[in-house]
Amino acid sequence: MSKVLALVGPYTEDGQILRESAEGAGWKVERVNSADSLKRLNVGNAQIVPYGDPRAMPGICSQLGIPEPESVPLVYLDTVPRDFVPIDLRTMLATYMTFEDFPFWQEHQKWHIESVSVKSCFHAGEYTYEEFKEAVKDLGPNDLCQLMLRAWEPIPVRKVHRAFVCHRRIESIQPLYYGDGGKKKARRFLESFLTDHRVKNVPPMAVDVGFTAKGLTLLRTYAAWHAPVGTCEPETVLEVLRQSTIPPRRTSTCPPKVARHKALAKVAARG
């Protein structure tokens, strides 16, 4: 089956990286701002693999009659076992952070704050309450109610590795910045997360693993179909994107080892 990479929304550096890789692999590539863009290509039964702007993605997928790729909840890291996020990390709406008496500001006088919404209005970094108020002073109440932020305690992150995962497997993991050591350690940490029976949902996604004074931590997650490529191999990212467009089979959400043990137990019970 032929494949079409549909770049949704405006030009981005990541989209260009994937375009070059897709064209090198024999895929068709089209920038899509409406369903008509792809219809004119006469793609037939080709597998359409969308990548790009999350704001435009639902409408484009609906018009094309293809499933919308699986998303990663913005509060995903707030729901995973604390073993994998040992630092104090929160995800919340910006509006709460604008109140000086909000308990958030009593626990730490400074927080590293960054946007997890599509559009950001300030630079990620460490902020006191006064500095944060200054950074968002031009936003109205409605904007603040729609701006989702991730904040973690002001603890140094020595290095970060970005991985693309699919079906509970690491397809690619590469150092992002702050040095290039620790790749094997980051891989082992992420594999322990992916195979942990307490983790019920692992959508196709990109994950950042950070090295801190409190140990390794999951730092950020992105849905695969709009994740920054970083230093990961674009051909591998393309395969994760392709897999993310395939509707999941009705199988167990258990990690592979647990699912296998359950399957063996069923066979033994049948005698």
Q: What is the pLDDT of residues 44-70, one digit of tens each?
A: 678 889 998 887 888 877 777 777 777
Phi, psi of 210 (to 5 degrees): -110, 145
Give the range with max mean pLDDT: 97-106, 183-192, 218-227: 183-192
- Categorize the per-residue pLDDT at 43 as very low, low, confident or very high, splitting at 50, 70 and 90: low
Task: Find, among 160, 163, 159, the residue nearest to 232 by Cα.
Answer: 163
pTM above 0.85, yes or no: no
Kindly tell me if the per-residue pLDDT of 74 is higher than 90.
no
Is residue 265 over pLDDT 90? no
CA distances (Å), 242 to each of 52, 235, 236, 248, in order?
Answer: 14, 11, 10, 12
More confident residue, 169 or 264: 169
Q: Which residue did the predictor score with more confidence, 172 or 65? A: 172
- Can you give the pLDDT at residue 119? 63
Angle at 222 between CA 153 and CA 227, to 5 degrees: 125
Is 50 exceeded by the pLDDT of residue 80?
yes
- What are the boundaries of each domain within the chain? 3-64, 76-85+166-271, 88-152
Is residue 236 predicted with pLDDT exceeding 80? yes
Distance from C-alpha of 47 to C-alpha of 257, rounded to nearest angstrom? 31
For residue 250, the model assigns a pLDDT of 43
The pLDDT of residue 257 is above 60: no
Alpha helices, H only, the chain: 13-24, 35-39, 57-64, 76-79, 94-97, 103-107, 129-135, 141-146, 183-194, 234-244, 256-269
Contacts 24+ apart (CB under 8 A), 248-251: 248/70
Q: What is the mean pLDDT of the chain?
A: 84
> 251: pLDDT confidence band, cut at 50, 70 and 90?
very low
pLDDT of the residue at 41: 57
Q: Which residue has the tokens 């392709």?
A: 242
Picking from 7-11, 117-121, 154-158, 216-220, which range would have the lowest pLDDT averaged per residue?
117-121
- Alpha-carbon torsion, ordered 136, 125, 75, 175, to 10 deg: 150
**Residue 243: exposure state from Cβ atoms within 10 A (0-12, 13-18, ≥19):** middle
In the numeric block, which tokens belong to residue 265? 């137990």
- Asked if residue 8 has pLDDT above 80, the reply is yes
Neighbours of 264 (CB within 10 A): 10
Q: How confident is the model at residue 263 (pLDDT cuts 50, 70, 90)?
A: very low
Q: Is the pLDDT of residue 256 over 60?
A: no
pLDDT of residue 186: 95
